[in-house]
Structure formats: C-alpha cells, structure tokens
Chain A
Amino acid sequence: MNCARCLLRLQSVGFLAPSVRAAVQHAALLQPATALSQITAHNTCGQALRRFHGSPGCYKSQPVPTDPGEEHEDRIKKDKSLITHDDLFERVAREAKTKATFNRVVDVFSKRDIRRRGHVEFIYAALKKMPEFGVERDLTVYNKLLDVFPKEVFVPRNFIQRMFNHYPRQQECGVQLLEQMENYGIMPNVESKVLIVQIFGDKSHPMRKYQRIMYWFPKFKHANPFPVPLQLPEDPVDLARLSLNRIANDLDAKVTVYQMPCTDISESGEEITFPHVVGIQSPDQMELLAKHNPNRPVFVEGPFPLWLRKICVYYYILRADPLPPEEKVEESYDPERCFDYPLQLDLDLDRDMGDDDSFDVEDVDEGPVFAMCMTSQGDQATLNQWISGLQETNPTLGRVPTLFRLEAGPRELQGVADPGPGYREEGEEEAETDIVVEEEHQCSQGVKQ
C-alpha cells in the first residue's frame, strides 16, 4: 500500500514538476507576479487532492516544490526548522524524557513567537518524538499539540476557499496528527473537536478525519470479545493467572499457584531462585483425567507462546493422545436411567434407500488437555513440581506414566536480558537464535513414573 503510494507520488512529481517548472518560467517572463500565484494555487490544489487520497505520512518531509526559485530556500528553511525543532527536543531529552518536559517544549515553542512560525514542522517533529517521551497514548498531549496551530487563520471564509484546498499543508498536518492518534487507538474528545473547528473550520479535512474517527472508533471499541487489559499486571504470577484464565476460557476453571517465586540461599551459600509455577484446571478436565486409562501415557508439552499486547508468555499443557477407536466405549443406553421419561426413543429404525449416508467430517479427534501451567523456568524439574501438585487433586495422575516432551523454550533467555521472569519483550528474538540451537540438542525427553 505504502509503496504504491510512494510510487504514485514520485511519478506525479516527475511528470508534473517539469511542466510546472516550464510554465512558471514562461509565465515569469510575461507576468511574473500574477502568473506565479495562479499556478501555485492551481498546483497546490492538485497536489493536495492527491495527497489526501494517499498517505500523508510519506511526503511530509518532501513537499513538492512549488517554485524553482523558492524550492531551495524552502528546503533550507524547512531543514533548518526541522533541525531546530528536533534539536529542541533533543536538548530537553538530555534531562528526562517525560510528559512534563514534552509539554515544556511545546509551551516554549508556543510562547516564542506569536505567529507560531514553523508550527507545521514543529508538530511533525513533535509527533515523531512522542513515543520517545512516552506520551504517544496521551490525549491531553495531542490536544496541546493541536493547540499549537494558530486559530481562525486557516478557516475558509468564502465558497471558493472552501471548494479548493485551503492551507493544504496545515490541514494535512492536522490530519497527520489525527492519524497518529488513530494509529495509537486514542479517541479525540470534545476539546479536540473544538480546537479543530477553531483552527480549520467545520468542513475541513481534519474535521472530516475527526468525524470518521468518531464514527468508527466507538463501533470497534468493543469488537474484541476477549479484550486484553491495557495495563498488564507486573507480577509474573498475576500475569500467569490472567493468561491462563484467558486460555482456558472456562468459568469453572481454578487457578492454583504451585510455587510462588522466591530466592533462597542454600547451604553452600549459593543463591537459588525458585521459579513460579501457576496452573489451571477445570472440574471437567479433572473428570477427564480421572477417566483416563492409566496404561496410556500423558504428555507434558510446551512451551507454547501466548501474546498479550507486547508481551509474550509461554505455557505448558498436560495432554493425552486421542483414544484409538478400539478403546472407545459407547455409553450404552440404560432404559432404567430416568424415572420420568425415556431418555432415548427405541424405534428400531433402519437405513433406507435415499437416506443420506454422508457423515460429518468436521470433528477432528484431538486428545484431551487435562491441565495447563505457566512457569518462568520450563525445565523438567520445575514442571515436575507442577505435576506433583496436580497429583494431590488428581490421584490417577500418580499411576499414569508422564512423558515430558519439551521443546527449546524461552527459559535460557533470562540470562541474556531479563525483562522479568516468564516473559520477554518482542525485540529479543534475534539474540536467542544461537542459544536455541544449543537447546535443541539437550531437548529433554524424560519419563517419570
């Protein structure tokens, strides 16, 4: 998408710019002042129309030159202004990157010049810096940025202005600001609306953008039936609790903490960390496990990833293979089961010609999953703790051979970068590859009786 837009833009620049340039040159010879203004107006109009269909994100740094004479100067000015604005942020960033400092920069800019010269560049720079300062999800900051635009200047006053694109660069910048809000899932509020009306008027492009956001955002707000909380719990046990409940999706399922994370000092003076072990099991799963044939093994498998926003956690499951067809016992119908009504009609129906004999193929037989757990350290010893904890509530498990089929997990990664036990950030994956290879060799396959 983006690529195509860029291409389109380049093309138009390629075709349009020379002709414009030629025309401008001709016109300049004849009637310098009027012609120039006409063409500029015409040109910007064409530009802006195209721009609003494309992504404004790409060419904010490279506005198409309107005039060969101005082009150079413009770039210098812009470059300069960009540098200064970036610089402004950089300078402040040296102290601390917080909302307060960000706001201070904006304040400084607003107060420096009553005309707010270079505010478009400033806003672009500020938008780019927002994630750095951690304010990319802060509505008040966006409103403050909107407030940087001078008021009422860009509001069209007559139908011609309204018809053509009035102050396209500014409108585009406003749209860009709203777009960034949209990308971060921030919904504008009434204050934003008032500001936009004050700045651009009520039928401007930013206003349209605002209206579109306000149309779609509320509609999609609750589209996800399984929302992940914005703020994930810091505590790995709480996080495990949340994620396990999310996987199980069973209101009856009970979370058990088999071991709280703690550190202890052993006799030899070494520091031992005990990882947390948190498991979940529902009554249905307990029933299934109780019915499990003790001669058939159960497997501890994992780790499987689960993404919660930017955090990836890993879980392990206790499962068995699906019953082979010869072991399946059809529960026979007992006519003396219900005191009040026949549970089954005993009609002795035969298959007949023309009966539909096709069968349902949707049911793929899968083995039952008996329990799930999360731990920060997915080695066999730790998982054994989970299994022995499960044995307390599921006595059958003691008689069933338990096989560990663990794959290379995330557990060694903690040495590399420790974002907290049990989970890691997205970006760390490259660093792990060599460890993973090593892991593969010692992939544990043990049998515990």
Chain B
Amino acid sequence: MNINRLIALSKSVQFGKILTSNARHATKEVTLPHRTIRTHARNLAYAKDLFLGKVNKAECFPYPEIGNEELEEINSFVAPVEKFFTEEVDSKRIDHEAKIPPETLNGLKELGLFGIQVPEEYGGLGLSNTMYARLGEIISLDGSIAVTLAAHQAIGLKGILIAGSEEQKAKYLPKLASGEHVAAFCLTEPGSGSDAASIQTKATLSEDRKTYLLNGSKIWISNGGFADLMTVFARTEVVGEDGVKKDKITAFIVERAFGGITSGKPEDKLGIRGSNTCEVSFDNCPVPVENVIGEVGGGFKVAMNILNSGRFSMGSAGSGMIKKLIEMTAEYAGSRKQFGKNLSEFGMIQEKFAVMAQNAFVMESMAYLTAGMMDRPGVPDCSLEAAMVKVFSSEGGWICVSEALQVLGGLGYTKNYPYERYLRDCRILLIFEGTNEILRMYIALTGMQYAGKILTGKIKEMKKGNVGVAFEMLGRKLGDALGRKVDLGLTGMDGVVHPGLATIVEEQLILKRVADVLINLYAMTAVLSRSSRSISIGLRNHDHEVLLANTFCTDAFFKNNYWLTQLQRNSPENQDENIKKIAREVLEKRTYVCSHPLDRTF
C-alpha cells in the first residue's frame, strides 16, 4: 500500500471540494467522467482502489439514482410505514416492558416489513438495497424494532437468500417474508466471537447419513427466544483434498420444530430492551442433510457474506434517527429562553446542531452511495464500503445523540424525554455486526491485502525485466517528486510495502489510522458526489448541501493530514510507543498504577 497516494488523494478530494463550491465548475468536473458501459462483471469497488492510490471516479460519480417509478413505489411504501411508526409504536412502553407488543409485531408483518428484500415470487417486497435503506431510516425510529427486524432479515434469513438452494428458498422464504416465521442468526458462542476456530457447536452426521445432530450452545442471539427458524453455524468433519479429516464450519437451517432446542432467559440489556436476546442451546437437535446452506464445510464463506452484506443499512438508520432528533431538539432550542435569549442563539448550542446536520448528511450520502453501488448489476463487492458506512455512522450517531441530549441539559437525562432511550439504544451500534475495532481491522487489512498483491506482482514483473512496468514506476516516482509528497517511511523501494509489512497485522494502531483515513476519504467522496448531483439537477436547498459538504471535507482533510503525519516514521505526533507502554504497565498490574495524590513518602 502506498501511503503517499493517500495524501495525494486526500489533496485531490480537497481540490474537488473547492471545485464543487463553485457550481459552474462543479458541473463540468462531475459530468466529465462518463460511465462507460461495462461488458464484464465488475468485481471491484471504489474503496479497494483507494488503497492503490487510484480514485475510481466511475464508481462514485455521478451519485446513484433510482428511476421515477421506483421513487413512487418507495414513497408509497414509506408513507404507511411512517404513519405506523409515529402513531402506533409506543417506544417508551416497548423499552419499559422490554417486549414488543404482539399487535405492533402484527402491524409490522402486515406492512410486509419482515420480507423487505425477499423477492416477490417468495411473497416478499423484493425491494432493492436502496429502498431497503430508505425504509431503514424510518424503522430506526425504534431501536428495538429495528434490531428485531434486522436480526430477522439482514442476517437471519440472509443465508437462505444468498446461498440457499431453490428448494430451501421455496420452502422457507414465503413464511419468513410474511412474518409467520421469525428468523435468527446463531454464530456467536461463549468462547467465540470472530474466531471461527473456537466454535464448539458440533454437527455430527447420523449413521444413515440423512441427518446431522447439533450439539452446543450459542449466546447473544437476537430473536433467539421466539425465532422459529435459525441459521446455525457448527463444526462438521470434512475430508479434505489430501484425505485428512478436518473440522470445518457448516451453515444449517434449523427449525425450532426439529426439537432439542432450548432458549435461555432474555438478557437484561442497556438499550434495545424491547428486542429479544438470549442464549440458545442445541441438544442433539436433528437437522436433515438437505438443510445445509451451501455446501458442507462452506459455512465460513456463508457467514462472511452474510455479515458483510448486512452492514450498509446502518448509515441510513443512523441518519434517520438523527434527523428526527434534530427536529425534536430544534424545537426545544427555539422555545427555551435563558437571559432573554433563545437557546438557539448561543454559539455552543448552534455548534451542536451543525454537528448533527453534518453527520446526518454524511451518513445519508455514504449509505445511499453504497446502496446504489450494491444495486448495480453484477456482483459488486461492496463489503469494504459497507464496513466504512457502519463504522462512520455508528460513531457519528453516538456523538449526535449525546449532543442532542446535551442541548436539553438535565431534562435530556430524565426518562420524561426519549433522549436517554436513544442514547442507550444507539450504543449497541458500535458493538454489534462486528465491533468497530474489528471492522477497522477489516477495512485496513482487506485493502492492504488487495493493494499489496498488485504491487508485489508489479515488482516481480519488473525483476523479470519488464521495462514497461519499470518506466511506469519511474514516471510515478517523478510525479511524486514534483508534486511535493511526504515520505511516510511506510513504503520501501519503489513504493512497495516493506517486507516487514507482512507483520502489519499486529500493528493495530497503524491499521486504525489507515482505516480512519480511508473512511474519511470515502465519506468525502460520497458527500462530494451527492452534492454535485444536487447542484447539477437543482435539488431544493442544494446550497445548504454544498455548505455541509465544504465544511465536512475541510474538516476531514485536516484530520486526515494529521493522521497521515502520525503515520510518518519518528513523527512527534505519533505517540504509539507511549500509548502501548502505558497500557502494558497498567495491564501488567491489572490496576491503576499511580499512587494516590495524597500519598506521602515521609
């Protein structure tokens, strides 16, 4: 990976930003790269190319749009759902009783919200990712419902949808789409979060080779208390190519009706209290062989695909929540008087609204850009983008909810207002569907893997005597030299990663920064793309969008520069060694190390 290119990119995005501020220039800039018609399936997406220092403008510009019919269709869906959520969902009660009332669930089923992405032939709504994101904006107004629905369709039944056979789809999807059956996703175990090797649940083939017997227990299963259908991951013995027996993960569709399944007591949680989370244990649960999703031993890929595809909607969900919060707090800030002035006249309060608006704007832009990219024909791999959206929006959401609560001061802290509930509900976003720490690792390492492979390939060709590659490298070097770049010390000869970079997996602090830079770059791209489109087609209040885009991009540009400086060798901004040392000393003692300030030695 070439960090130099990141800076270049950071600068070019900044440059683009300046252009967009001028509408006339911007239209030119944006309309220039025409999307060429592709004949081959695209398997590359924008974010991975950023690691190579390439801005794949064709992927992001112009901002994806949906057709008029689709827009009408989605609006016809949105209106009743919005009505339902404002009039019939009592979030306070759900939170208080830690249960979603059955009539609410029935309402959701009637609206078809249990099968948003299930194809119409199986009785679902068959909506695209973009439309799913749009509905997510409204569903997110109640955290418990959002999580219940997400556990059902974003991960619970996704396995069947992605990798299931026709028979499995025909058998299960109609009931799942109608909400007659609720699905759950069972991967996490007491000893296994992201570590596939420590999954203990075992599936053993019976003697007649017709059923598997499942044994083991899974924890933190959303909907685990009442789900009728579960996607369960368990180890199975597989004979490998070399004839050696190996344990591999396999995904199963397990009906509760199979027997041998017990659910534990629902967990008492901080937020999303209305959603049901509990332990599920399997005791000799018989699963017929035809219920294996994909092939035996292929569960790892299934799990990864499900997890990677479920994340993008969090951006729109977060923005939906913040938009609602802005409305609520703005009303308060406009009416509450202190010293004869409205709260809205105080600078520090204004700043909070700016932060909220900006965050909502960026999240929205990222979410719909990603959804749009995923909706394109072919099988675009947008997992990196989705992870970026998830990290950005979960953290932005947490900040915004906290700021909104702050506007109300002590009132926000009470249960009389919904802010504390939003704050509690929102906290889970940083944790589930892959914690933000893990996702940062994913973003940085997947990108580096991709870039590293291409660059090492180039180096090898050059060694073989391919002069063309050498010239290309030389040309780039020259460009770098002329275009005042900073040498970050991360790259070795010819801009290729250091041989020692194979151990970069262990350098989590560096990876975190790389991931943060990339997340910001993607966010800037999304914002620029969206506001350019708004200018071009003259959307209402597009000048406000330009303002938000400018502010965000400038901010992100400076942050990125700072992070990139931190990545330099021996930079004084880089405190990693100290940070690690502090942590090591604390962890060695497993306590706070310092003496008390009141202690004396004589």
Using a CB–CB cutoff of 8 Å, the interface residues on chain A facing chain B are 187, 189, 214, 217-218, 221-222, 251, 334, 336-352, 355
Contact across chains for A341 and B460 when beta carbons are under 8 A apart: no
Cα(A219)–Cα(B582), bound, Å: 22
- Some 26 contacts from A to B, beta carbons below 8 A apart, are A187-B602, A217-B601, A221-B601, A334-B197, A336-B196, A336-B249, A337-B195, A339-B194, A339-B303, A339-B307, A340-B434, A340-B439, A340-B442, A341-B194, A341-B441, A341-B445, A342-B445, A342-B446, A343-B505, A344-B502, A345-B445, A345-B448, A345-B502, A346-B453, A347-B449, A350-B460
Least CB distance, B593 to chain A, in whole angstroms: 11
Q: Decide yes or no whether B78 CB sits under 8 A from chain A.
A: no
- The residues of B that contact A336 with a CB separation of less than 8 Å are 196, 248-249, 300
Contacts A336-B300, A347-B502, A355-B499: A341 and B442 contacting too (C-beta < 8 A)? yes
CB pair A337–B502 under 8 Å, yes or no, is no
Chain A residues, Cβ within 8 Å of B44: none
Closest to B448 in A: A345
* Bound Cα distance A339, B194 (Å): 5
**Smallest CB gap from A249: residue in B:** B588
B504 partner residues in chain A, CB cutoff 8 A: 345
Cβ contact within 8 Å between B449 and A342? yes
Cα of A87 to Cα of B438 in the assembled complex, Å: 79
Is residue B26 contacting chain A, with contact meaning CB distance below 8 A? no
Interface pairs A-B: 7 shortest CB-CB = A218-B601, A341-B442, A336-B300, A341-B441, A347-B452, A340-B438, A340-B194
**Is the beta-carbon distance between B456 and A349 smaller than 8 angstroms?**
yes
**Chain A residues in 8 Å Cβ range of B197:** 334, 337
A217: chain B residues within 8 A (beta carbon): 601-602
B493 cross-chain contacts in A, Cβ below 8 A: 352
Q: Residue B426 at the A interface, CB < 8 A?
A: no
Check A339 against B441 for contact (C-beta < 8 Å).
no
Minimum CB distance partner of A190 in chain B? B602
Indicate if B501 sits at the interface (CB-CB under 8 A). yes
C-alpha gap A338/B449 in the complex (Å): 15
Nearest-CB residue, chain A, relative to B453: A347
Which chain B residues border A339 with CB–CB below 8 Å? 187, 194, 196, 300, 303-304, 307
* B497 beta carbon closer than 8 Å to chain A: yes
Q: Which partner residue on chain A sits nearest B299 by CB separation?
A: A336
B590 at the interface (CB under 8 A from A): yes
Cα(A355)–Cα(B498), bound, Å: 10
A sample of 6 more A-B contacts (CB under 8 A), given A337-B195, A338-B194, is A217-B602, A334-B197, A336-B196, A339-B304, A340-B438, A351-B499
Chain B's nearest CB lies how many Å from the CB of A193? 11
- From DSSP, what is the main secondary structure of chain A's interface residues? loop
Taken together as a complex, chains A and B put the C-alpha atoms of A214 and B304 apart, in Å, by 65
Residues from chain A with a CB closer than 8 A to the CB of B497 are: 347
Q: Which residue of A lies closest to B297 (CB)?
A: A336
Cβ-closest chain B residue relative to A214? B602
Instruction: Output the least CB separation between B490 and chain A (Å).
Output: 14
Contact between B194 and A349, CB atoms less than 8 A apart: no
Q: Name the distance in Å between B365's Cβ and chain A's nearest Cβ.
A: 25
Interchain CB contact (< 8 A) of B449 among A222, A346, A349, A351 = A346
Complex formed: what's the CA distance from A343 to B438 in Å? 11
Complex interface residues of chain B between 299 and 339 (CB less than 8 A to chain A): 300, 303-304, 307
Assembly CA distance A178 to B362 (angstroms)? 72
Q: Evaluate contact between B499 and A345: CB separation under 8 angstroms.
A: no
Rounded to whole Å, the gap between the CB of A208 and the closest CB of chain B is 17
Closest to A222 in B: B601
Q: Are B196 and A345 in contact (CB under 8 A)?
A: no
The residues of A that contact B439 with a CB separation of less than 8 Å are 340
Q: Mark B500-511, 1 if CB is under 8 A from A, else 0.
A: 011011000000
- Which listed residue, B196, B300, B602, touches A218 by the CB 8 Å rule? B602
Query: Bound complex: CA of A189 vs CA of B602, how far in Å?
Result: 8
Taking the closest CB of chain A, its distance from the CB of B214, in whole angstroms, is 19
Given contacts A251-B590, A339-B300, A349-B499, contact A344 B505 (CB under 8 A): yes
Instruction: Specify which chain A residues have a CB less than 8 angstroms from the CB of B446 in the assembled complex.
Output: 341-342
Across the interface, name the chain B residue whose C-beta is closest to A251.
B590
Taking CB atoms, residues of chain B closer than 8 Å to A189 are: 602
**B-side contacts of A338, CB under 8 Å:** 194-196
B452→A345 contact, CB < 8 A: yes
Which of A337, A341, A345 contacts B438 (CB under 8 A)? A341
Q: Closest A-chain residue to B435, C-beta based?
A: A340
CA distance A337 to B446 in the complex (A): 15
Name the one of B249, B303, B505 contacting A345, with C-beta atoms under 8 angstroms: B505
Question: Smallest distance from the beta carbon of A126 to chain B beta carbons, Å?
Answer: 25
How many angstroms from the CA of A355 to the CA of B501 in the assembled complex? Answer: 13
Note all chain B residues with C-beta closer than 8 A to A340.
194, 304, 307, 434, 438-439, 441-442
Contact with A along B425-445 (1 / 0, CB 8 A): 000000000100011011001
- Write the nearest CB–CB distance from B150 to chain A, whole angstroms: 18
Alpha-carbon distance between A341 and B460 when the two chains are bound, in angstroms: 26
Query: In the complex, A286 Cα to B194 Cα: how many Å?
Result: 25
Given A336-B196, A341-B442: A347 and B456 interface contact (C-beta under 8 Å): yes
Contacts of B442 in A (CB 8 A): 340-341
Most B-side CB within 10 Å, residue of A189, A217, A339, A352: A339
Using an 8 Å CB-CB cutoff, how does the interface string of B175-213 with A read, 1 for contact, 0 for none? 000000000000100000011110000000000000000
Q: For B194, what are the chain A residues with a Cβ–Cβ distance below 8 Å?
A: 338-341
Chain A residue contacts of B453, Cβ below 8 A: 346-348
Q: Give the distance in Å from the alpha carbon of A107 to the alpha carbon of B106 in the complex.
A: 96
Docked complex Cα distance between A345 and B445 (Å): 7
Q: Measured between C-beta atoms, what is the minimum distance from B602 to chain A in Å?
A: 5
Q: Which residues of B contact A341 (CB under 8 A)?
A: 194, 438, 441-442, 445-446
List residues of B (400-445) whose CB comes within 8 Å of A's CBs: 434, 438-439, 441-442, 445
Residues of B within 8 A of A346 (CB): 449, 453
- Is the Cβ of A349 less than 8 Å from the Cβ of B438? no
A221 to B456, CA, bound (A): 56
Kindly provide the distance from the CB of A290 to the nearest chain B CB, expressed in whole angstroms: 16
- CA separation between A346 and B505, bound complex, in Å? 11
Quick check: A349 and B502 within 8 Å, CB to CB? Answer: yes
A11 to chain B, nearest CB (A): 40
Complex Cα–Cα for A277 and B499 (A)? 52
Chain A residue at minimal CB-CB distance from B198? A337
Please measure, in the bound complex, the distance between the C-alpha atom of A327 and the C-alpha atom of B294, giving whole angstroms: 38
Kindly state the separation between the CA atoms of A336 and B446 in the bound complex, as whole angstroms: 14
- The chain A residue with its CB closest to the CB of B301 is A336
Give Cα distance in the complex from A227 to B481, angstroms.
Answer: 58
Closest to B460 in A: A350
Collect the chain B residues with CB atoms within 8 Å of residue A187's CB: 602
Q: Which residues of chain A come closer than 8 Å to B303, judged between CB atoms?
A: 339
Q: Which residues of B contact A349 (CB under 8 A)?
A: 456, 499, 502
A218 vs B438: C-alpha distance when bound (angstroms): 46
- Among B493, B504, B595, B601, max chain A CB count under 10 A is at B601
User: A375 → chain B, closest Cβ, in Å?
Assistant: 30
Q: Distance (Å) between the CB of A245 and the closest chain B CB?
A: 14
> Taking the nearest CB of chain A, how far is it from the CB of B511, in angstroms?
9
B354 to chain A: closest CB distance in Å?
A: 34
Contact across chains for B602 and A345 when beta carbons are under 8 A apart = no
User: How many angstroms between the C-alpha atoms of A366 and B303 in the bound complex?
Assistant: 41
Q: How far is the CA of A328 from the CA of B597 in the complex (A)?
A: 50
Nearest residue (CB) in A for B599 is A222
Q: A334: nearest residue on chain B (CB-CB)?
A: B197
- Bound complex: CA A347 to CA B496 (Å): 11
Query: From B298, which residue of chain A is reached at the shortest CB distance?
Result: A336
Residues of A within 8 A of B300 (CB): 336, 339
| Complex Cα gap A339–B155 (Å) | 14
Question: How far in angstroms is the closest Cβ of chain A from B238?
Answer: 11
Residues of B within 8 A of A345 (CB): 445, 448-449, 452, 501-502, 504-505
For A343, the chain B residues whose CB sits under 8 A away are 505
Give B81-111 as 1s and 0s: 1 = Cβ < 8 Å from A's Cβ atoms: 0000000000000000000000000000000
Q: How far is the CA of A348 from the CA of B499 in the complex (A)?
A: 10
CB closest residue in chain A, given B192 = A339
Measured CA separation A350–B459 after assembly (Å): 10
Instruction: Encode contact with A along B452-478: 1 for CB under 8 Å, 0 otherwise.
Output: 110010001000000000000000000
